[in-house]
């Protein structure tokens, strides 16, 4: 039973650290780019879009599809960077312990 108590304590500590990590992720900002920097999308660590910046040269009312494609590309770039950052922070939190395939933190 001593081991069960220790496991419960470790689980509570892990839960506290996970909450701290999630709180910290809300403060992280990551920017993705497309069109050689003409479109910038900034997301927080939870994947929420915080900023969108368009270079004036990209804005052409007769060619809206280009703007749409560049925004999507910049968002995907930022999202990939956020996922990489979250994975790195999760690895630090887990002390190198690997998660089962397909399982991601935070949930």
Q: What is the mean pLDDT of residues 89-107?
A: 65
Residue 78, pLDDT > 80, answer yes
pLDDT band at residue 72, thresholds of 50, 70 and 90? very high
Listed in order, strand segments (DSSP E) in 14-98 are 29-34, 39-44, 49-54
Q: How far apart are CA 81 and CA 103, in angstroms?
A: 18
Which residue(s) pair with 32 in the sheet?
41
Which residue bears the tokens 């397909």? Answer: 102
Q: How far apart are CA 10 and CA 51, in angstroms?
A: 38
pLDDT at residue 53 in the model: 97
Residue 107, pLDDT > 50, answer no
CATH 3.30.479.10 is the classification of domain 2-93: no
Which residue bears the tokens 């709180």? Answer: 23
Q: How far apart are CA 89 and CA 81, in angstroms?
A: 12
């Amino acid at each position: 039973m001593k081991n069960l108590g220790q496991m419960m304590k470790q689980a509570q500590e892990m839960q506290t650290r996970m909450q701290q990590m999630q709180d910290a992720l809300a403060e992280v900002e990551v920017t993705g780019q497309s069109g050689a920097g003409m479109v910038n999308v900034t997301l927080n660590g939870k994947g929420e879009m915080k900023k969108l910046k368009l270079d004036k040269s990209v804005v052409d009312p007769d060619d809206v599809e280009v703007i749409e494609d560049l925004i999507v590309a910049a968002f995907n770039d930022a999202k990939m960077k956020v996922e990489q950052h979250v994975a790195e922070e999760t690895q630090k939190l887990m002390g190198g312990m690997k998660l089962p395939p397909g399982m991601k933190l935070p949930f």
